[in-house]
Amino acid sequence: MFHYGRTRRARTAGLPATALLALGSLLHAQTPVADDPDARPPVTRTDLEIVRNARAIIASPARWNRADDRQCPPAAKTFSIYCALEKATLDVGLKFEHRGAALQEVRFVIDEISADRDYEHRLMDYNNDPRTSFADMQRVFRIAEELIQLRLGTSGSAARPAR
Q: Give residue 85's domain range.
A: 6-152
pTM of the complete model beyond 0.85 = no
Q: What are phi and psi of 64, to 5 degrees?
A: -95, 120
Q: Residue 75 domain-assigned? A: yes
pLDDT digits (tens, 9 = 90+) for 42-57: 999 999 999 999 999 9
Q: Residue 161 domain-assigned? A: no
Q: Residue 145 domain-assigned? A: yes
In whole angstroms, give the CA distance from residue 148 to residue 80. Answer: 21
Q: Residue 160 domain-assigned? A: no
Domain count, the chain: 1
Higher pLDDT, 24 or 60: 60
DSSP conformation letters of 102-142: HHHHHHHHHHHHTTTS--SSHHHHHHH-TT--HHHHHHHHH
In whole angstroms, give the CA distance from residue 107 to residue 104. Answer: 5
Q: Residue 118 domain-assigned? A: yes
Query: Which value, to the nearest 10 degrees, does the dihedral of the CA atoms of residues 108, 143, 139, 122 take?
Result: -10
pLDDT digits (tens, 9 = 90+) for 96-150: 998 999 999 999 999 999 999 989 999 999 999 999 999 999 999 999 999 999 9
- Whether residue 12 is predicted with pLDDT greater than 80 in this model: the reply is no
Q: Residue 159 domain-assigned? A: no
Q: Residue 158 domain-assigned? A: no
Phi-psi region of 135 (alpha: psi -120 to 50; beta: other; left: phi over 0): alpha
Q: Residue 127 domain-assigned? A: yes
